[in-house]
Amino acid sequence: MKPAPSLPYSAKPPEPIAWMLQNRAEAGAILVGLAGISLVFILHLWIAHRRASLVKKFTWSLILCLPLLGWLFYLALFTPPGYSDSPLNVTGDAGAGPGDHP
């Protein structure tokens, strides 16, 4: 029987994976924490942005499942409903003055 051919690279896993395999409890706690933060962002998306379309909310929910990168995309790119960059298009109470409310 012939011996197995030698591999041109070491068969060791990359450093982060090796650390996760050696420290499973800590790695599990980190993953649970990251999933919890993602869940908070997803709940915020569905509650605070009720007027957004379902397709948009489902898409952003999937993006938010990517820790850090998904969060940054959400915070940087998701435009809340009713927001406008135009100073002429005032929404909400931003243009209300004294005595405008009952």
For 42-98, what is each residue's pLDDT tens digit?
Answer: 998 899 888 888 998 999 899 888 888 888 888 888 765 555 555 554 455 555 555
**For residue 63, how many other CB atoms are within 10 A of its CB?**
19
Residue 86 domain-assigned? no
For residue 99, how many other CB atoms are within 10 A of its CB? 6
| Residue 27 domain-assigned (yes or no) | no
Domain annotation covers residue 15: no
Q: Which residues have C-beta within 8 Å of that of residue 62, sequence separation ≥ 6?
A: none
Q: Which domain holds residue 43?
A: 37-78
Q: Would you say residue 99 lies in a domain?
A: no
The total number of structural domains that make up the chain = 1
Nearest to residue 56, comparing CAs of 45, 66, 67? 45
Give a yes or no: residue 71 inside a domain.
yes
The answer to whether residue 67 is domain-embedded is yes
68 within 8 A of 31, measured Cβ to Cβ: no
Is residue 96 assigned to a domain?
no
